[in-house]
Amino acid sequence: MSRIPLATTDQMPPEIAGLVAAVEEQTGDSTALRALAHRPDILGPFAQFYWNLQTTGQLDRKLIELFRLSIAQINQCRNCLAGRYQDSIDEGLTEELVAALPDAENSPLFTEREKAAISYAQKMATDHYSVGDADFARLYEHFSVEEVVELCVDVAQFIGVGRMFAVIDAMNVACEIPGAQKVAAATS
């Protein structure tokens, strides 16, 4: 049970109740949003920020999923580990790639661009002080400045938000991101 009481929709402004209902419909659960709904002034802008970052960015969805899942493996986030976004599957994300993430640096399954991003994300999630000039030089071999900024923001929010939800015990109990059912069926 969440360490922050879960708001009911009658306690929320209509726009936040609508957001919670949409997430509930899409994923089957809205536990995490209900915990944050006590501060609609924070949740509303954050949800818009997150949506824009995920849908209007320059990085491809498969790449984002690779480093998101790499962080989820380190954070041991049940929600993130269980879900797969359909657009990343459409771009080539496979369970073989997900299984290879812990040793991505040595795997022939990943491009050099993917390895650079995954390595950066793994370092940020385990020991951010170990990220140095050489890591950024490597990123700039494969990414524009704008893409590096987006990568940094994506990684930071995946680490921070995932850990926050774990600490407040507001993990969705049934986070089935669209596409996860297809992945589960394909791997069973």
pLDDT, the chain, mean: 88
State the average pLDDT over residues 105-120: 98
In the numeric block, which tokens belong to residue 153?
A: 């923001």
Question: What is the pLDDT confidence band of residue 172, given thresholds at 50, 70 and 90?
Answer: low
Domains parsed from the chain with CATH numbers? 1-56 (1.20.5), 61-167 (1.20.1290.10)
- Whether the CB-CB separation of 42 and 69 falls below 8 Å is answered with no
Q: In three state form, how does the secondary structure of 72-125 look? A: HHHHCCHHHHHCCCHHHHHCCCCHHHHHHHHHHHHCCCCCHHHHHHHHHHHHHH
Return d(Cα 123, Cα 153) in angstroms, integer.
14
pLDDT-derived band at 150 (thresholds 50, 70, 90) equals very high
CA angle centred on 22, ends 9 and 173, rounded to 5°: 80
Is residue 176's pLDDT more than 70?
no
Q: Which range is most confident: 34-43, 71-80, 169-178?
A: 34-43
Q: Label residue 26 by pLDDT band (50, 70, 90).
A: confident
Confidence of residue 80 (pLDDT cuts 50, 70, 90): confident
Residue position matching structure tokens 């993430």:
101
Is the pLDDT at 175 greater than 60? The verdict is no
Rounded to 10°, the helix 133-142/145-167 angle is 120
In this prediction, residues 101-124 reach a mean pLDDT of: 98
Kindly report, residue by residue over 114-128, the tens digit of the pLDDT: 999 999 999 999 999
Residue of 171 and 109 predicted with greater confidence:
109
Q: How confident is the model at residue 106 (pLDDT cuts 50, 70, 90)?
A: very high
pLDDT at 38: 96
